[in-house]
Structure 1
């Protein structure tokens, strides 16, 4: 007997989570199945809507103002500006520890590489670090954490012309953690405010860390740390350090594994639980039944294929990186439903000779109609009850545009809402 629901979402990334939440909040009995854990743990935690145009112009001050001028094939043109706004409102409600909803303007947030990234939403842990703030800043790195070279990041920010003085310092983290210590190890120590040995006696790790940072301060009004400042009590860790130091404290977004990404994942899964979404992870969708309509999909579990049936389906399995779009010597394809993916016959046309050139593969993905239903090569609808969302969609280069999270949220919201409406 098949496991049944009104809406079945395939994929557990930001698009899939948003789609499932939108469908459930619209009243549909919703189920989400995902082969892998959410990719949010690999993301910075920043939510970009649009940082640069497809022509490379930017950073953009107002991403919403630029959307109407995007190519017609872009997913933002498909869903429209107002849907992007509605989708972000859903995100803001589900992730209350985020800032940026007070304005249409992008914020410029420093990253661990010393660049500034245009972003529409950012964790409150990063809010004191935005580049529009003219307070001088000290960046602090740890000797056992090579992923964040604070002096180098500060030098890059200074060269970029930020409107404040910034410098970096590298210190030993109290307790002298090993170089291979996970970021969660730092976070748990700070959460618990555990005692660590310092100069022959035990001292709380927050106090010991503040003491070492205070010795480096030279009049700066804010201090930036790599994003390891707690998990369960991140706000409490920042508040404790700020009180000890007498300055504002912020986190600099890092690469994977990302604590801000993990915190966002927790917030979204809590919202899904509250909305009553049924969730299954760790098992792939491997086949389906149906013609013009999908009747059921099959989830492989313990070498058995378990049927899952729904009235409406959402495909949110990711792009080339997430294996939602795959390629071989024969071509480019979507592996679950075999949805059409437009591409040149000659593989050498898929990329440009210039490493930073206009690569066709960056825009590979499923083309859809105005309702986000995948289209065949002749423009006909592939399945009347399937919608696609997120980076499985084609027609845009999320890496160059800095639009990945925004497209996932906007199209996930639109697909989930439309799917729920069809079940009424």
Structure 2
């Protein structure tokens, strides 16, 4: 099998890169082991969330000066802003609605009721409360992955009136006997059924007359947000959702929409597969073998490593150090091992910045030498802390589109 590009990893970075390539007339394949980080995310994307006291332009200038190894610094401010805008356009053209845009960040409500700056957020996810707003945080009886009292207590600190309430949905009793089954995804599979809409509406209606907005756990809308739209149209007050403990319905929905559009555009999705061998001469990747395809390698002109960080085994930690398991690529890390962490759990942890080293074009390095046709994108990259800096989604999107542009330009110049 021959492809223009083989992308290793089917998360946000891999999907956005693949989508961009298909839109430019190329034929990529994505090798996906299974669930990606999106399945455990809120569905929102951060660009540079820690920059709350500066404009984005100023924050990117500061970042370039203070952290030259950050992926944004490698690409440059103007490129970061341009790729971020392209991401907004790409998502919209894929039919994925998002609130927000570059240079106009907003605050969303987290699953524990705190406020977090965001770049793009699904329209059904709850944004920061307005002054004087009356809010009811509504839990579902028996659903332990969402704590309305905790959310309400946090939101009260913003100065709004908030109550914690609970509704009972008898149709979910079939799931209550097994705590492992009473999870957001299983609830969504039931509540998304059109026959269940009116019972949910009936449970919420008595509460909706006393508040300006209801906040519910995001336990419906697995395929689309039709139920959310209908409830907002038929209830006397607004309704928004809060992501729950993983698995996350909004994150799974975003992944599903991106993956379907990738396949619709002509991309090849190799699900439940894993790389077993990569053929190369030290400078160029020529073929990639996978578990499911045995002796039939995937021949490719370009390869993209979008395998994620430690969570998805894109990076492996051992007693000797951190390594990239597929090719033994150079990894940005610190030594000794004791320097990887800090005592205070809530401080930024040094290991979060570990990752594959690249040149400024994001070509991966091995023994100090770059591969000419192997790029690295997203969480596998080193030099940034996606959690503390609030840039995990942004790095995935920006680096994905940067690499897709380079591949398209290089492919156009080849026979």
TM-score (normalizing by structure 1): 0.88
Distance 1:254 1:74 in 2: 30
1:2-401, aligned counterparts within 5 Å? 3-53=1-51, 58=52, 62-70=55-63, 71-80=67-76, 81=80, 82-101=82-101, 104-126=103-125, 129-131=126-128, 133-134=130-131, 135-159=133-157, 161=158, 164-177=160-173, 178-179=175-176, 180=179, 181-194=182-195, 205-217=196-208, 219-232=210-223, 234-235=225-226, 237-291=227-281, 292-301=283-292, 304-376=294-366, 378=368, 380-381=369-370, 383-401=371-389
Number of residue equivalences: 398
Distance 1:332 1:158 in 2: 43
Query: How far 1:297 moved relative to its partner?
Result: 1.4
Aligned to 1:175, the other structure's residue is in SS state helix
Aligned to 1:98, the other structure's residue is in SS state coil
Change (3 A) 1:232 1:422: same
Q: Is the 8 A contact 2:187 2:219 kept in 1?
A: yes
| RMSD over equivalenced CA pairs, Å | 2.1
Distance 2:54 2:97 in 1: 23
Q: Is the 8 A contact 2:333 2:353 kept in 1?
A: no
Change (3 A) 1:265 1:210: same
Query: How far 1:377 moved relative to its partner?
Result: 5.4
Query: How far 1:280 moved relative to its partner?
Result: 0.3
Change (3 A) 1:156 1:208: same
Distance 1:385 1:64 in 2: 32
Residues 251-299 of structure 1 show CA distances to partners (whole Å, capped at 9, x for unaligned) of 1122211111121112101221232111102111122121211111111
Distance 1:166 1:100 in 2: 25
Distance 2:313 2:301 in 1: 25
In the alignment, structure 2 segments of 5+ residues that lack a partner are: none
In the alignment, structure 1 segments of 5+ residues that lack a partner are: 195-204
Residues 171-197 of structure 1 show CA distances to partners (whole Å, capped at 9, x for unaligned) of 212424333323233323333232xxx
